[in-house]
Amino acid sequence: MSLPHERFKAHGELSPLSTHLFSMTKILLVMLLVTISTRTVSSSGSIATISRIETRQNSLVRSRLTSAADPAWPSSAPLHALWPDTITYFNKNLDLLHAARFSTNEFFTSDRWGYATYTKTGNTIEVFNTNGEKISTHNAPAWPRATGSSKWLLLYTGDQSGLAALERASGTLVAPYQQLASLVTATAINEQEQSIVFGMVDGSLEKFSLRDTKTIWRQHPPEGRLSAIKGLTIQSGDSSILVVSGSRPETFSRYSNSGKLLWSTPTGGDLRTQVMVHAGYRYTASQTAAGLILYDLDSGSIVRRLEPNLPSGKRVTWTSFQETKTGEILASISSGSFSAIYHLGPDLAIRNVSFVYSPWMECTLADNATQVVALAGQNGIEICRSLEIAPCLP
Amino acid sequence: MPQLGDRTMPSLTQIRLLAAILIIFAMILPVSANVQKFKWPIEKVLLTATFGESRGDHFHSGIDLGGDGQEIRPISDGEVVYYFDEAEHPLYKSFGNGNLMIIQHEQSMRSYYYHMKKASVIPDKATVKGNDIIGITANTGRSFGAHLHLGVGGKKGYINPLSILSEYPDSIKPEIASIMLFVDDRAITVPQKYRVTGIDSFRLLCKTWDSQENIRKLNTLGPAEILFHIDDQLVRRIHFDRLVEKNGRLTLSDGSSFEDIYTKSGFLSGGEYRNLIGLHRFKVVASDFRKNSSSKTVEITFK
């Protein structure tokens, strides 16, 4: 699969100057789309938007467009937003709970339940809750990546440095660091089972119990295959694990209890690294260099490709996927400085697609019953009344 | 009619042809012998850490090549199996290994390149050639100075990269700083002749390091092999040739774990001994990868 700018080159019809002008035109077109989108929102913003937080020159500007008594007001809290050097948490009224800013030698990882920090020259990880209260401190040989759930925080780092799990509320180390022979590249937590699944750069996949810190099963890739687990998630309902693997990627699903293969689908010869894999109720989605591929969760058959052809001409670096119980889908695809936001109906037809000037966009369903949507990006957070009118970004 | 001698006696032309073949073969032979040698990934090689050194709770799985801003090329042609560049991920920072690339070569061999500069790693193709630049040396991740960590191995486990790279100048012997007895959580440095009482069991330790012409003043390199002898009998050989997977962890090829080899303070362990009585000679021999070696002997009388 070629990238957009490679396709232009392949035709051999455009000179470098023409290509440059063409790219500039594309960017201007997208800026125009953003403007149109903004105007559309402005005309209906008072209806669509419940509340909004914007970042303006390192300050947060908050506006409440409806009252908290509105039945569509989000019930889930807290809300979590990230900027390259700042973590912020808000309550459901969008009051700021906590904000933390970091220097270049401080590493952090965060999710909606809290965050963890580490200094480049230090040996300890400090774990905080959404109010900024320190929960625990742990020795760690290297700065890890983290995967979170409401109960657990999973920390994993490079080859041999291993993997550990914390109970989030108490800070207890439920699974002490265990060393691994290979580099961990993807993890997921099964909260119901108190287990985790992790994939490694050698292509193997392992399920591990947080109750007794023992391996439940381990699966190795077929001999000779160029494998590396790129991303994985556990399906809603915890019945299967969805994985993207290989330098010529394939997406496959394994039964959670046995590790046996449920289905496998090649996704095309494309080069990718950090890959988001998203699970829903009927569909799963995996990130590719060009966008998102949606699969049927039962069969693995590809049901839709969302490839917005964003003007950066770069690989997709960020995706999010949200499926409601009524079958509607909200998804975001980011590349370079732009993001595309899709709203698909239960029939998977595109009802709306919008472009925003943000290098990432996280779409979450803040309230499943009322379908209130939270959209977080570089420019701020927008709480929208429903999927139908999303996105309603400023 | 051809004579018998015509067939048994080679003509001058045949002799010349044979000589030419021999000369060509002789010219090819050294190349063939080096066919398994791979290229160094950077031009100005400064070895700052060796394979198997202690990293607190695990073995160092590769070698470190110091220097900032150097272009990195793969040790051989291959296919990119995995890479991470934080420049591609707006909400992720690089972790312990920093920005990295893993390339698969022939016969399931992989090479690992860590701590590279942000935005220098992103490849534009799935396969790389030996002359392609795959990144720039830097100080990302768990790194205390700009360097390239180079690892070489299979899907699991690693070999000493020096065993497959072209030779690196090193004529300096390792230095054995001390031989120690570890008793009751305390390391006792042993003088050349030593008399002790009341020691029933102990762990034999040594502190050693290696140097190389370019980095002599720093003395930071680890040796490639350490031999422990008691009374001229070899009791332990530590050979940092490869790290293999055993029960999900990396051990030396003889199955020794990190804790078997290193103390918490980073001293090398020659094993645990008990109930030694009388005079015993303890000898440690340390060698680097180029077989430069040195030894140290102490005599201990146990009462």
pLDDT single digits (tens) B113-165: 999 999 999 887 888 999 999 999 999 988 889 999 999 998 778 999 999 99
Q: Are B233 and B271 in contact (CB under 8 A)?
A: no
The answer to the question of residue B56 being in a domain is yes
Question: Do B144 and B62 have their domain in common?
Answer: yes
pLDDT for residue B3: 36
**CA-closest candidate to residue A276, choices A291, A256, A264:** A291
Greater model confidence, A253 or A381: A253
CA distances (Å), origin A371, targets A76, A278, A328, A352, A389? 11, 19, 10, 16, 11
- The per-residue pLDDT of chain A, averaged, comes to 76
Greater model confidence, B267 or A244: B267
**Amino acid at residue number B296:** K
Tokens of A316: 């997709």
The answer to the question of residue B294 being in a domain is yes
Contacts of A156 (CB under 8 A, 6+ apart): A144, A145, A146, A147, A162, A163, A164, A184, A187, A198
* Average pLDDT of span A180-191: 85
Given B131, B163, B195, which residue is the final one in a domain?
B163
pLDDT for residue B216: 63
CATH number (domain holding residue B184): 2.60.40.10
Question: Do B288 and B183 have their domain in common?
Answer: yes
Question: Do B81 and B25 have their domain in common?
Answer: no
pLDDT for residue A192: 83
Which residue does chain B place closest to A246, by CA atoms? Answer: B81
Greater model confidence, A266 or B270: B270
Query: For chain A, what is the radius of gyration of the CA atoms?
Result: 21
The answer to the question of residue B281 being in a domain is yes
- pLDDT surpasses 60 at A1: no
Q: Are B42 and B66 in contact (CB under 8 A)?
A: no
Q: Give percent above pLDDT 70 in chain A.
A: 73
* Average pLDDT of span B219-234: 92
Question: Do B179 and B296 have their domain in common?
Answer: yes
Greater model confidence, B13 or B233: B233
Give the burial class of A257: count Cβ atoms within 10 A of its Cβ; 0-12 exposed, 13-18 middle, 19 or more buried: middle
Q: Per the CB < 8 Å rule, is B90 touching A182?
A: no
Lowest mean pLDDT among A169-173, B201-205, B232-236, B293-297: A169-173
Grouping H, G, I as helix, E, B as strand and the rest as coil, residue A200 is strand
Phi-psi sector, B24: left (phi>0), alpha (psi -120 to 50), beta: alpha
- The per-residue pLDDT of chain B, averaged, comes to 86
Question: Do B129 and B213 have their domain in common?
Answer: no
pLDDT single digits (tens) A284-330: 999 988 899 999 999 999 999 999 988 877 888 889 999 988 888 99
Sheet holding A106-111, edge to edge: A106-111, A114-119, A124-128, A134-139
Q: Look at the alpha carbons of A41, A44, A47, A52 in this order and tell me if their dihedral is positive or negative.
A: positive
Tokens of B85: 């560049």
Q: Give percent above pLDDT 90 in chain B.
A: 63
- pLDDT surpasses 60 at A260: yes
Contacts of A68 (CB under 8 A, 6+ apart): A92, A93
- pLDDT surpasses 50 at A216: yes
Lowest mean pLDDT among A105-114, B101-110, B203-212: A105-114
The answer to the question of residue B39 being in a domain is no
pLDDT for residue B254: 94
Q: CA-CA distance, A84 to A100, in Å (whole number)?
A: 11
Grouping H, G, I as helix, E, B as strand and the rest as coil, residue A25 is helix
pLDDT single digits (tens) B39-87: 999 999 999 999 999 988 889 999 999 999 999 999 999 999 899 998 8
Size of interface A-B (CB pairs under 8 A): 122
Q: Look at the alpha carbons of B182, B188, B190, B196 in this order and tell me if their dihedral is positive or negative.
A: negative
Q: Are A60 and A81 in contact (CB under 8 A)?
A: no
Tokens of B252: 């030396």
CATH number (domain holding residue B75): 2.70.70.10
Tokens of B118: 């942000």
* Widest Cα–Cα separation across chain B: 97
Q: Look at the alpha carbons of A129, A131, A136, A139 in this order and tell me if their dihedral is positive or negative.
A: positive
Q: Are B56 and A141 in contact (CB under 8 A)?
A: yes
* Average pLDDT of span B197-214: 90
- pLDDT surpasses 70 at A79: yes
Greater model confidence, A219 or B25: A219
Quickly state the pLDDT bin for B272 (edges 50, 70, 90). Answer: very high
Expressed in angstroms, the distance from the first to the final Cα of chain A is 34
Residues of A in contact with B83 (CB under 8 A): 273
* Average pLDDT of span B15-28: 53
Question: Do B78 and B186 have their domain in common?
Answer: no
Question: Do B192 and B262 have their domain in common?
Answer: yes
Compare CB distances from B84 to A177, A180, A273 and report the shortest one's residue: A273
* Average pLDDT of span A229-239: 81
Q: Per the CB < 8 Å rule, is A317 touching B126?
A: no
- Output phi, psi for A27, to 5 deg: -60, -45
Which residue does chain B place closest to A275, by CA atoms? Answer: B89
pLDDT for residue A10: 27
* Average pLDDT of span A365-370: 70
pLDDT for residue B295: 96
- pLDDT surpasses 80 at B6: no
Tokens of B68: 């900032």
Given B163, B196, B231, which residue is the final one in a domain?
B163
Greater model confidence, A82 or B188: B188
**CA-closest candidate to residue A189, choices A158, A128, A147, A157:** A147
Q: Mind listing the domains of chain A with CATH numbers? A: 1-75+319-394 (no CATH), 102-181 (2.40.128.630), 185-307 (2.40.128.630)
Alpha-helical segments (H) within chain B: 4-8, 12-33, 258-261
A83-111 burial, b at 16+ Cβ within 10 Å, e below that, comes to beebbbbbebebeebbebebeeebbbbbb
- pLDDT surpasses 90 at B212: no
**Number of separate domains in chain B:** 3
- Domain of B14, in residue numbers: 4-33
Q: Per the CB < 8 Å rule, is B141 touching A178?
A: no
* Average pLDDT of span B229-257: 93
* Average pLDDT of span B241-264: 91
Question: Do B155 and B231 have their domain in common?
Answer: no
Compare CB distances from B142 to A142, A228, A318 and report the shortest one's residue: A142
- pLDDT surpasses 70 at A40: no
Q: Pick from A171-180, A241-250, B4-13 the range whose average pLDDT is largest.
A: A241-250
Q: CA-CA distance, A328 to A306, in Å (whole number)?
A: 15
Greater model confidence, A339 or A10: A339
Quickly state the pLDDT bin for B2 (edges 50, 70, 90). Answer: very low
pLDDT for residue A6: 27
Q: CA-CA distance, B87 to A312, in Å (whole number)?
A: 14
Which residue does chain B place closest to A378, by CA atoms? Answer: B90
pLDDT for residue B274: 93
The answer to the question of residue B28 being in a domain is yes
Q: Is B108 on the interface with A (CB under 8 A)?
A: yes
Question: Do B110 and B156 have their domain in common?
Answer: yes
Given B163, B194, B212, which residue is the final one in a domain?
B163
pLDDT for residue A34: 39
pLDDT for residue A142: 65
Question: Do B17 and B64 have their domain in common?
Answer: no
The answer to the question of residue B278 being in a domain is yes
Q: Pick from A111-120, A381-390, B154-163 the range whose average pLDDT is largest.
A: B154-163
Lowest mean pLDDT among A201-205, B162-166, B212-216: B212-216
Quickly state the pLDDT bin for B185 (edges 50, 70, 90). Answer: confident
Residues of B in contact with A332 (CB under 8 A): none
Tokens of B296: 């140290």
The answer to the question of residue B23 being in a domain is yes
Question: Do B118 and B179 have their domain in common?
Answer: no
pLDDT for residue A285: 93
Q: CA-CA distance, A268 to B182, in Å (whole number)?
A: 58
pLDDT for residue A38: 35
Q: CA-CA distance, A348 to A350, in Å (whole number)?
A: 6
- Distance in Å, alpha carbon of A358 to nearest chain B alpha carbon: 10
Residues of A in contact with B88 (CB under 8 A): 273-274, 315, 317
Question: Do B271 and B195 have their domain in common?
Answer: yes
* Average pLDDT of span A117-128: 81
Contacts of B17 (CB under 8 A, 6+ apart): none
Q: Per the CB < 8 Å rule, is A161 touching B93?
A: no
Contacts of A185 (CB under 8 A, 6+ apart): A199, A200, A201, A228, A229, A230, B82
Grouping H, G, I as helix, E, B as strand and the rest as coil, residue A8 is helix
Q: Is the pTM of this model over 0.80?
A: yes
Angle (deg, nearest 10), helices A16-48 and A4-11: 150
pLDDT for residue B162: 95
Q: CA-CA distance, A79 to A53, in Å (whole number)?
A: 11
**CA-closest candidate to residue A109, choices A131, A136, A82:** A82
- Distance in Å, alpha carbon of A79 to nearest chain B alpha carbon: 16
pLDDT for residue B28: 39
pLDDT for residue B283: 97
Greater model confidence, B99 or A50: B99
- Distance in Å, alpha carbon of A67 to nearest chain B alpha carbon: 32
Give the burial class of A302: count Cβ atoms within 10 A of its Cβ; 0-12 exposed, 13-18 middle, 19 or more buried: middle
Quickly state the pLDDT bin for B11 (edges 50, 70, 90). Answer: low
pLDDT for residue A22: 46
pLDDT for residue B174: 94
The answer to the question of residue B194 being in a domain is yes
Lowest mean pLDDT among A57-66, A94-103, B208-217: A57-66
